[in-house]
Amino acid sequence: MAVAGMGGTAFQAFIIFRAFVDPHAGVNSKSGLITSAVVFVIGIVWFFAVRLIRKRQGVDLDLRMKEIPIE
């Protein structure tokens, strides 16, 4: 599993590198980078907003990770 994880990590790093240096990928232009950053920030804001809404409804999402999941 560790070997597969290292291989997957290396492959993912290569894909991310190619996305930022390949002019045809559309990520390395100014508008592509801004769009990527905006999507990332929206995801973070969405996570904390939903967490706050659910906490006000009486559902503590932090407690969901306290218990060991059933396998």
pLDDT tens figures, 22-31:
877 767 778 8
For residue 18, name the pLDDT band (cuts at 50, 70, 90): confident
pLDDT at residue 71, as a whole number: 65
Tell me the percentage of the chain whose pLDDT exceeds 70. Answer: 93
Beta-carbon contacts of 33 under 8 Å, excluding residues fewer than 6 positions away, are: 27
For residue 33, name the pLDDT band (cuts at 50, 70, 90): confident
Q: 3-state DSSP call for residue 66?
A: coil
Question: Are the C-beta atoms of residues 19 and 27 closer than 8 Å to each other?
Answer: yes
DSSP 8-state assignment for residue 62: G
pTM, full prediction: 0.58
If one compares 49 and 69, the residue with the highest pLDDT of the two is: 49
- Residue 3, phi then psi, degrees to nearest 5: -65, -45
